[in-house]
Amino acid sequence: METLLIKGCSLPELEAWVESIGERRFRARQIFKHVYGRRIAKWDECTDLGRMFRVQLDFGTRLNALSFQEKQESSDGTVKYRFGLQDGHSIETVLIPDPPRYTLCVSSQVGCALGCAFCLTATMGLKRNLNTAEIVDQVCQVQRDTEQRNHISNIVFMGMGEPLANYDAVLKAIGILTDPNGLAFSHRRITLSTAGLVPQMIKLGDQSPVNLAVSLHASSDAVRDSIMPVNRTYPLPVLMEACRRYPLAPRKRITFEYILIDRVNDSTEDARALVKLLDGIRAKVNLIPLNPRPQCALRRPSQERMLAFQEVLQKAHLTAMIRQSRGADISAACGQLAVPHDDSPSADAPAKGKTSRKTACMENCLSVPVDGQKRFGQKDD
Ligand code: SAH
């Protein structure tokens, strides 16, 4: 029998499975409560399930999809977790405290295929998609680790990877995260960030009420083409039309992320073009000062240039915040995360840290260099 990944199962799937092994349907709901409500570590803790059933669960299922590898805490409270996957890859998840909000930034892929010029993830390419259990377990493991102190209040799909390129697994994970019998997160507290995969974005609007963030980063096709190759497939007129038609609940807005890059996209003309672009869209803008990455000529603009850019937006009555980088002391800046891993992973041979890297980029501009050979926080070259 194939091992069932418990955290990758929706409730109806788990109901079908328990019935298939001769148990009653309601057992699935009990399992959900144990796994997500009580956050059990092993089936032995579920004394209301029969001993035989627990043995079946032990042998037929896998409770955890991730293994804890490392955790590091910044002086500003940001906590970065590294988790190992069954096949030897690693991913990172970051908890961003901003009381009373505790936002968890989750990864959706190992690496990324989109090749954005400013993001270190691009340098490793796409290794693979995460499965649903690996996405859900990021939330479970961090929640279990922090429950004595605080509760995760928000989830953002802004870690490693492009969530809409892993659509089915991400949507299914959102279903489990929001299941009232599961983790019971409100859709309002979940944000998915995309570089602009338009067909999947349109599908998302039809299928899920989660918040949408769009990584815009330029207000002309020429500039966007040069820093985000995805723009050649879905250029700005196509992307903005999809945003204009995006089904938004009353009072909801699309968040547009805009990394400010010195002399590339940060002039006041760029800001005026951005105002035009967002005309007619319920939008708010997050201005993210670029976190430079090694061996990349792109730089962060001066404070004056960033403020001048922001002022143009604000004068046009757009909500535009300049996001502060967090976790700098652990090099937790967006686009700078790097984790080495084995390039030919196997389930029996966990990664030892060799050649390639992975990157996570987060809502508050956090990302973290991680290197198995060096210590966290050291400069990556
Ligand atoms: N692929 C998705 C989600 C991951 S990136 C997306 O593109 O939206 C999350 C955010 O971090 C994106 O807005 C991304 O553009 C930003 N980011 C990436 N590298 C960065 C860097 N070097 N400095 C600042 N922000 C960066």
Provide the CA 51 distance to its chain's centre, in angstroms.
Answer: 38
Q: Is 45 a catalytic residue?
A: no
Whether residue 336 is predicted with pLDDT greater than 90 in this model: the reply is: no
The residue whose CA is least distant from atom 3 of ligand 1 is 158
Q: pLDDT tens for residues 53-64?
A: 999 999 999 999
Average pLDDT along the chain = 87
**What distance in angstroms lies between residue 3's CA and the mean position of ligand 1's atoms?**
35
**What distance in angstroms lies between residue 335's CA and the mean position of ligand 1's atoms?**
7
Same domain for 41 and 80? no
The token duo for 61 is 């299922």
Can you tell me which atom of ligand 1 is nearest the CA of 214?
8
Whether residue 71 is predicted with pLDDT greater than 90 in this model: the reply is: yes
What is residue 332's predicted lDDT score, i.e. its pLDDT?
56
- pLDDT-based confidence at residue 120 (cuts at 50, 70, 90): confident
Which one is catalytic: 140, 334, 361, 365?
334
The residue whose CA is least distant from atom 20 of ligand 1 is 335
Which one is catalytic: 15, 23, 92, 134?
92
**Of the residues 13, 38, 62, which one is the last residue of a structural domain?**
62
Same domain for 71 and 147? yes
Same domain for 320 and 258? yes
Position 372 in a domain: no
Same domain for 156 and 237? yes
Q: Residues enclosing ligand 1, CB less than 6 A? A: 118-119, 158, 162, 193-195, 215, 257, 259, 288, 290-291, 293, 334-335, 361, 365
**Of the residues 37, 62, 87, which one is the last residue of a structural domain?**
62
Same domain for 301 and 233? yes
Distances (CA, A) of 262 to 185, 247, 306: 38, 34, 9
Provide the CA 30 distance to its chain's centre, in angstroms.
Answer: 29
Whether residue 337 is predicted with pLDDT greater than 60 in this model: the reply is: no
Q: Is 92 a catalytic residue?
A: yes
**What mean pLDDT is predicted for residues 17-43?**
94
Cα separation, 339 vs 209, in Å, equals 33
Can you tell me which atom of ligand 1 is nearest the CA of 114?
1
The residue whose CA is least distant from atom 16 of ligand 1 is 361
Between 358 and 198, the more confident residue is 198
Cβ atoms of 35 and 63 closer than 8 Å:
yes
Position 349 in a domain: yes
Cα radius of gyration (the chain): 21
**What distance in angstroms lies between residue 63's CA and the mean position of ligand 1's atoms?**
31
Same domain for 178 and 293? yes
Cα separation, 162 vs 377, in Å, equals 25
- Helix/strand/coil for 144: helix
Same domain for 36 and 88? no
Q: What is the CATH number of the domain that holds 195?
A: 3.20.20.70
Same domain for 55 and 75? no
Same domain for 252 and 292? yes
**What distance in angstroms lies between residue 214's CA and the mean position of ligand 1's atoms?**
10
One-letter amino acid of 22: G
Whether residue 356 is predicted with pLDDT greater than 80 in this model: the reply is: no
What is residue 292's predicted lDDT score, i.e. its pLDDT?
84
Position 381 in a domain: no
Q: pLDDT tens for residues 250-271?
A: 999 999 999 999 999 999 999 9
User: Structural domain of residue 10, as residue ranges?
Assistant: 4-62
Same domain for 53 and 72? no
Position 373 in a domain: no
**Which helix (H) or strand (E) element contains residue 110?**
strand 109-111
Q: pLDDT tens for residues 298-331?
A: 999 999 999 999 999 999 999 999 997 776 666 5
- Helix segments in the chain, DSSP class H: 11-20, 26-32, 51-60, 132-146, 167-178, 198-207, 221-227, 230-233, 236-244, 268-277, 303-315
How many structural domains does the chain have?
2
Q: Cα angle at 360 between 336 and 158, to 5 degrees?
A: 135
Highest mean pLDDT among 288-292, 338-342, 351-355: 288-292
Q: What is the CATH number of the domain that holds 28?
A: 1.10.150.530
Instruction: For a ligand 1 pocket test, name from 261, 325, 361 the mutation site with the most ligand atoms within 8 angstroms of its C-beta.
Output: 361
**What distance in angstroms lies between residue 363's CA and the mean position of ligand 1's atoms?**
8
**What distance in angstroms lies between residue 300's CA and the mean position of ligand 1's atoms?**
14
